[in-house]
Chain A
Amino acid sequence: MSITPWMQQIVPKLKKYTLETLLAKKVRLDGRRLDEFRSIQVQPGYIERAEGSALVRLGNTMVLAGVKMDIVAPFPDTPNEGVLMVHAEFVPLASPTFEPGPPDENAIELARLVDRSLREVRAVALDKLVLEPGKHVWRVFIDIYVLDHDGNLYDASMLASMAALMVTRIPAPVKTEEGYVVDRTRYTGLLPINHRVVSVTIAKLAGRLIVDPTFEEEQVADARLFIAVTDDGRIAGMQKTGMGAFTEQEVHQAVRIALAKSKILLSKLAETVEPYRKKLEEELQKLAAAPATTTAPPAPSEREAVETVEEAGIALEQETAERGE
């Protein structure tokens, strides 16, 4: 059941007034233009133990995305495809408004938005993640961890997820009598990516459209429009969120802004994540060329790097039951 937010942080009336009057002069409280992003930092490979990861900072907002992979049975309706799953955690250390516990509707909405935006354009080439059709496929788990909430979690999470996927290395599958186990001391290649997808979320505040809202701006805004854009300029997903509305004209204007601003995020990926991906690719090629005895990179630690397929299979059954669509 969804309930009107009743424990929101209060924005003082004076601050709301200042925000709105400044906007009328086309300036924002932090000095940005209406269509300007805050500083964007992407740090790929932040978690070495994950198959892929990225830390994104959008002004004071900080989101970490980690990718883990395992081998499971595919869904019955897609026997020739790997499985993609997205989860988001709003960890309580990120904001005074976050509570410990299972994901609330906001976290679920965020995860599902990222999931759809990646899935519908086939950003990850899931058809190339099949070990044995109908029996064993790779499952790609994206876990979004919101570490500091200063607004626009959508765009930060989308960017972190995309960056993490781009630098994901596939561990080595080892065939056993029962099926497959994963050897995480070796990698066989990089995750195949078809498209880069980013999102631009536009908030409507005092009748004006602004890009990359801060937490305060979000509190005052009427509504937001999440727009996912692909590297070839198509719209990969959209969602109105918040208690207000948009006119048709505003929606079209928002789409134009999103298409233009997506280039900034895409070039950020090209500048910071693409070189890292190249570096990983070269390393993997070098290892593949070297004699087998020297290929093993230092194992991360004494903890088991191999997970049995059975465990993963049980987990998938639970996921499938939960998915229920």
Chain B
Amino acid sequence: MVVQGEKPQLIRKEVRDGKEVLVRHDGRLPDQLRPIRMEVSVLANADGSALVEYGGTRVLAAVYGPRESHPKFMALPDRALIRCRYHMAPFSTSERKSPAPTRREVELSKVIREALEVVVLTELFPRTTIDVYMEVLQSDGGTRTAAITAASLALADAGVPLRDLVAGVAVGKVDGVLVLDIDELEDNYAEADMPVAMAPSLGQIVLLQLNGVLTPEEFQKALELAKKGIMEIYQLQKKALRSKYAEARVEVTS
């Protein structure tokens, strides 16, 4: 996070439809997501894969498995192991990022794995490993939440039985205003950044981090805002999966 020069104006007032509203630097309202694009089965080799874009953030996820555990002594007798890697491409950031895993990536791999453990029915595949790889191709804020959204799509695409999909989004506090799906510019000046991921149908929060300072009241509102965004993303996820199966049906009938 290298911040140079003057701080740009991130929140301004504007009149829209005769009402004065707060508008963000990219024209979004505080509770508005960036344009989101999702596609599944984008890789030929992987058992399941997905490409997810939140505005300028672009993440590719792939799943291999369930497959035999290597080394074998690690295999668990009653469930599958999940191996998870969140990684940023060297060219994904404004300054080149060393490809070696950073402490940040180690931590994020852990919290993402712990989120996915909630939904994957690992007990159905004892002695196996399910590998989940996430590559951030381009970073513009909210990469871990886009990664987890992509990872759950890739798991579904691989046919791994899930209790629910996982959808994630980051809420931030920028110039005192709570905003949904913060981008990198907002994050650089944010007072708080709170990534949240949920299994929406189960009503479970599977990932929750708060970097920054919020009052208890603000936290309550931020979580509410995150939930709203997650529900929208969840619908898009289901649509992305359905559109894949719709295509397959056309192939069969024609």
| Residues in A lying within 8 Å of B, measured CB to CB | 1-4, 6, 76-77, 105-106, 108-109, 111-112, 116, 120-121, 223, 225, 230, 233-248, 251-252, 255-256, 259, 321-325
Contact = CB atoms under 8 A, between A and B. Distances in A.
Nearest to A195: B213
Contact of B205 (A2, A76, A116, A246): A246
A246 B81 contact: no
B220 A252 contact: yes
Name which of B102, B110, B113 has the most chain A CB atoms within 10 A of its CB. B110
Given A4-B81, A108-B107, A238-B209, A247 B203 contact: yes
B104 A247 contact: no
Contacts of A2: 83-85, 106, 109-110, 112-113
Contact of A239 (B81, B104, B208, B216): B208
Name which of B3, B117, B227 has the most chain A CB atoms within 10 A of its CB. B117
Given A108-B107, A247-B205, A120 B83 contact: no
Name which of B1, B117, B208, B220 has the most chain A CB atoms within 10 A of its CB. B208
B23 to A, nearest CB: 26
Contacts of A255: 216, 219
A69 to B, nearest CB: 21
A2 to B, nearest CB: 4
Interface residues of B, number: 54
Nearest to B97: A324
A131 B4 CA distance: 21
Nearest to A249: B203
Contact of A248 (B104, B106, B205, B210): B205
Given A76-B2, A105-B109, A3 B81 contact: yes
Nearest 5 CB-CB pairings of A with B: A238-B210, A245-B204, A2-B109, A243-B117, A240-B208
B27 to A, nearest CB: 27
Contacts of A225: 208
Interface in B84-112: 84-85, 97-98, 100, 102-104, 106-107, 109-112
Contacts of A111: 103
B180 interface: no
A172 B98 CA distance: 36
B223 to A, nearest CB: 7
